[in-house]
Amino acid sequence: MLNFYNYFYIYPKTLPNGNTPFGKLIAQTIDATMPQTRAVIIGAGWGQYVQPEIAGIPMVQKTVHQESFFSTVQQTQQSFCQNKQTGIPIIITSDPSFQSQLQTTNLCMQKIKSYMLTSNGWNVAYIIEGTQ
């Protein structure tokens, strides 16, 4: 009984971010959008033990989306404003620490909703949904 308790109750709490699968949760959020939605991921490795791995997110997705990866909010802004394609649905997933910066930056898109994706008490990602 002690081994069972230690393995299934104590051990998972010692794993990165309490064993919260950041990449899987982000992939599920992207999967919940329409297939023509452009998925944008800003930043990488913001959780403990450098999760999520951005290359791993498309691997666990169930649907295929056009995906772009940027290191900074400024790179995202440049890409969006220089290559504007009207009517394209967009989902932006970012490091939660970019929330205030994303709220004040003009991304040349129409924001429909934004929210913090949370699980097990952890801020997994800051999400913005909208159209370009």
Q: Give dist(CA 4, CA 14) in Å, integer.
A: 15
59: part of which helix (H) or strand (E)? Answer: helix 57-60
Check: pTM over 0.85? Answer yes or no: yes
Buried b (16+ CB within 10 A) or exposed e, 84-102: eeeeebbbbbbbbebbebb
Q: Output the CA torsion 121→112→61→21 (10° steps).
A: -10
Domain ranges, ordered by start, for the chain: 20-131
pLDDT digits (tens, 9 = 90+) for 48-106: 888 999 888 999 999 999 999 999 999 999 998 898 878 899 999 999 999 999 999 99
pLDDT band for 33, please (50, 70, 90 cuts). Answer: very high
Residues 106, 77 contacting (CB under 8 angstroms): yes
